Structure 1
Amino acid sequence: MTLIKNLLDKVGETEQASSQKKSTKAEGYKRPIIFIPGITGSELFSIDEKYVDDFERSTGMISKDKEGFAKRIWIPLVNDVGEINQELNINNELYGLQEGDLRNSRIFDRHTGPASANAVLLNALLLKFPDRPIYQFSYDWRKTNTLTCKKLDSFIKSINHGGKVKVDIVAHSMGGIVSAHYLREHDKRVEKYVSLCTPYEGAPHAYNQMSSGNIFGNFKDIVLEKLFGVEKDVVYAYDGLVELYPTTKMLKAYPYQWVKDKKAFDKLVSKKYKNYEDLITQLHDLNAAEDIKPSKVQKEIKNYLGFTRYEEFLRKAKNYRKYKSFLHNVSLLNRPKSMFIVADGTQTQVSGCYMKDENDKIITRELVTKEGDGLVPLYSACMGYKLDEMPKELRKKFKVFKGTHPGMLMDLRALDSVCKFLKD
């Protein structure tokens, strides 16, 4: 990482020095590039409202000069359980820091998310497009993506010179869901669109893990819950995570299973499988499990969320689909000047199962194959298609790389594809 930083910084200084010679007027009407990160790239800060002006409030962004008043709370910095849960509560107004056009600051010195997850991608954009404004749109990932969409609209209006210039959008993960909402309503304001590893048809792990009170479903959650005392009810309130739940198409293509023979089931799922079909065939041949209809899984989800919240989830999932139907494709699947980067070959939860424990209580578990990037199933990132079943015209829009969900933000092949596509 240090080597990449040094090389990019050195080249970046030369590129930026050259770009400064261009006239302000010429720069002002260059098409901006906006990067919209996923959950792990959107830092959250709390700040006293008296420091927030109307523009910052409307966009959900805090200017650089206010940074000293903002308290970072992505990973809790204190051990007071009550204070932590209050700060992470969904009703709080939290912000991602945004400093405007990134050409005005060195990327590796900026707040760009935990572990600077987006720095390599942003630097690649700066090096390839030194004469174009480049922004990172930060948002509160806990809240509904429809709200984030409205904030994105306000932000784009603030930089498109009264609609005289379109923007290009590059989005990662949940950022692609935000973009899908935005493009449904404001497609004419966007020229080119690129998404990386977006769960358009949801991610089964979001339901499995969140129903257990987790945010990421891994070691970080153990730290958050056990060490810092983040309450499950706090996580339960995050609409942004609910909107990542698997859709009907995902549940049909990769049906949940009811475990009939736990011993045989455990033995079979302990192995690694290239695809879900191989796993299910073996489970069914040994009568270890059987398919559960999507309607029954959705009933369990509805029981967990409650009727009102589940109906809201369905409505918002329909909002960015072609005919506003939960069963139809995402609208932007056929959008011109769009490219979709997906990752494959990493152990990923593509479905789940229900079984009874020793106390006769029903519990959920994950079912994993190598069809995805570790977090997002390939089928979901491809909007309800399997790559070999796609019409040729659609298949051309998809670039497939072997890698991981966060890895695509640093994968040189993926970044090269992004930059080539954005080039006029």
Structure 2
Amino acid sequence: MKPIIFIPGIQATSLVNSNTFDFNYIWNAYDTLGSSISSSVFGTYINENLQINPLYDQGIETIIERNHIARLPYESAILKLKTKLNCTKAYKDTPIYLFGYDWRMSNMESAKRLKAYIEYLKHKLQDKNIEGFRFITHSMGGLVLTCYLNLLKDDFSRIDKIVMTAPPFLGSPYSLIHMVKGDGGLRSILNWAIGRNEDMRKVIRTYPGVYELLPVYPDALKYIDTDEPLDLLKKIYWQKNIYDDIKDLFDSRLALLNEFRSPSGLKNLSDLPKAIKNKIVIVIGEGDETFTKIKVKKKGDTNNITNLIDLNSLNDGKESGDGTVPFKSSSIYANEIKTLAVKKQNIFDEISNNLDFHGLFLNDSRVRNIIERYLTVEETNPVIKKLENWWDTPDGSVRKV
């Protein structure tokens, strides 16, 4: 048996306060098209801060735990995969487990919980002759799994196959945009009108998970006047009004971010043995305009920056990606690990592409086909046999990077 574990992206796990009689929601995942559209128009909102020790909520009577995983981005893909596996003799009745997690916390902490979860599954399935675990991740779920690989101390004997989709290995400018200016657009105006936008920015500045999505690839941020790059791992490059009222907490988050970006945090997949690299497929999006480069106005000393982001420069810094994660962030391992790029299509080809290419990535039929084929590629399959490469599509919209 080769059980599958699915790890979703940021905000895709609903969170509840378990210290209530009815488990009140403090964050509800996007379960329907209506809830997704409503969130994109009115803005997301969460008002629970984390303490300096990010394992705990600030509210003294609040104990927040994970609940269900968002249905809209994932349910169809997972159920169709289950059906596909049941049609193959080798993988009939393969269990698929959903690992939801508190995405506010550090991915390193989520990785520890994933390790404990896998140990639980090993004992649960101890009489089922487990040959290895298979993993499917989306977005930040890939960072959780990458941190988990670091915890294995080079013992990868239980890893059978891995499919990472839309992974933000080197972050995304959107995390910084949310920290500095809120959601932006109509939702920002509506949040401002009811007094929520500033609250939202301050709350997410307490979340390690958001810091760990900050862009760290070359030229992500540059000063307009000097063309000098900014290093968000160093406090001197941040504007004071972001951390003035949370100095100790901000220092703690920045220290945690540096740990996350060190060899002891996020595993460098280049360091994996070749045999393990050959068990990984990375699926990324391209062809959707994505914020990639951000300009910063520098006035005098860096501690007196008036605004960390030059809002007028955002559209000038758009490049290819999946609409959220830049191509240069998700494709960094293309020379060593099989990386397949799925091109965004027009509205008549793939409706989900145009709603949210990144968020609904697993709903794309080409992405689903890649996952299904990779997990069953050793099976006799006449469709795959006719293709030069098992990931090919008739229109050539999927390529090996």
Q: Same fold (TM over 0.5)?
A: yes
Kept in 2, the 8 Å contact 1:33–1:133? The answer is: yes
Structure 1 residue aligned with 2:159: 190
Name the CA shift for 1:84/1:136 in 2 (closer, same or farther; >3 Å): closer
Structure 2 residue aligned with 1:176: 142
Kept in 2, the 8 Å contact 1:320–1:330? The answer is: no
Residue 96 of structure 1, aligned match among 66, 69, 79: 66
Q: Secondary structure at the match of 1:232?
A: helix
Residue 402 of structure 1, aligned match among 339, 343, 349: 343
Kept in 2, the 8 Å contact 1:347–1:374? The answer is: yes
Structure 2 residue aligned with 1:375: 324
Per residue, is there more helix in 1 or in 2?
1
**Unaligned segments of structure 2, at least 5 residues:** 30-34, 36-44, 87-92, 244-249, 345-356, 379-401
Structure 1 residue aligned with 2:221: 256
Name the CA shift for 1:35/1:228 in 2 (closer, same or farther; >3 Å): farther
Name the CA shift for 1:75/1:191 in 2 (closer, same or farther; >3 Å): closer
Q: Secondary structure at the match of 1:401?
A: strand
Name the CA shift for 1:189/1:296 in 2 (closer, same or farther; >3 Å): closer
Kept in 2, the 8 Å contact 1:36–1:171? The answer is: yes
Structure 1 CA distance for aligned equivalents of residues 327 and 288 of structure 2: 10
Residues 19-418 of structure 1: matches in 2 within 5 Å?
Answer: 30-48=1-19, 69-74=22-27, 85-86=47-48, 91=57, 92-97=62-67, 111-113=68-70, 116-130=72-86, 131-160=93-122, 161-162=125-126, 164-186=130-152, 187-212=156-181, 214=182, 217=184, 219-220=186-187, 226-227=193-194, 229=196, 230-247=199-216, 250=217, 252=218, 254-260=219-225, 290-295=226-231, 298=234, 299-301=236-238, 304=242, 306-319=250-263, 331=271, 335-355=277-297, 361-365=306-310, 366=314, 367-383=316-332, 391=335, 394=337, 397-403=338-344, 404-418=357-371
- Report the CA distance between 1:166 and its aligned residue: 1.9
- Report the CA distance between 1:141 and its aligned residue: 0.5
- The ranges of structure 1 where at least 4 consecutive aligned residues each deviate by more than 6 angstroms after the TM superposition are 87-90
Name the CA shift for 1:315/1:88 in 2 (closer, same or farther; >3 Å): closer
Kept in 1, the 8 Å contact 2:108–2:265? The answer is: no
Task: Give a deviation string over 1:13-58, Cα, whole Å, max 9, x none.
Answer: xxxxxxxxxxxxxxxxx21111100014211122227x8xxxxxxx
Kept in 2, the 8 Å contact 1:36–1:176? The answer is: yes
Task: Give a deviation string over 1:217-251, Cα, whole Å, max 9, x none.
Answer: 5555555565473443221101111111122xx0x
Task: Give a deviation string over 1:258-295, Cα, whole Å, max 9, x none.
Answer: 334xxxxxxxxxxxxxxxxxxxxxxxxxxxxx522344
**162-171 vs 347-356, which moves further:** 162-171
Structure 1 CA distance for aligned equivalents of residues 271 and 76 of structure 2: 30
Name the CA shift for 1:307/1:74 in 2 (closer, same or farther; >3 Å): closer
**Unaligned segments of structure 1, at least 5 residues:** 1-29, 52-68, 78-82, 98-110, 261-289
- Report the CA distance between 1:361 and its aligned residue: 2.6
- Report the CA distance between 1:121 and its aligned residue: 1.5
Structure 1 residue aligned with 2:390: none
Structure 2 CA distance for aligned equivalents of residues 245 and 406 of structure 1: 18
Residues 7-22 of structure 1: matches in 2 within 5 Å?
Answer: none
Structure 1 CA distance for aligned equivalents of residues 189 and 98 of structure 2: 30
- Report the CA distance between 1:402 and its aligned residue: 1.4
Name the CA shift for 1:71/1:349 in 2 (closer, same or farther; >3 Å): same
Structure 1 CA distance for aligned equivalents of residues 283 and 221 of structure 2: 27
Structure 2 CA distance for aligned equivalents of residues 233 and 349 of structure 1: 22
Q: Secondary structure at the match of 1:48?
A: coil
Name the CA shift for 1:336/1:360 in 2 (closer, same or farther; >3 Å): closer
The amino acid across from 2:19 in the alignment is: D
The two structures, once aligned, show a CA RMSD in angstroms of 3.4
Q: Matched residue pairs, number?
A: 310
Structure 1 CA distance for aligned equivalents of residues 184 and 158 of structure 2: 37
Structure 1 CA distance for aligned equivalents of residues 49 and 195 of structure 2: 12
**329-338 vs 233-242, which moves further:** 329-338
Normalization by structure 1: what TM-score? 0.64
Name the CA shift for 1:413/1:293 in 2 (closer, same or farther; >3 Å): same
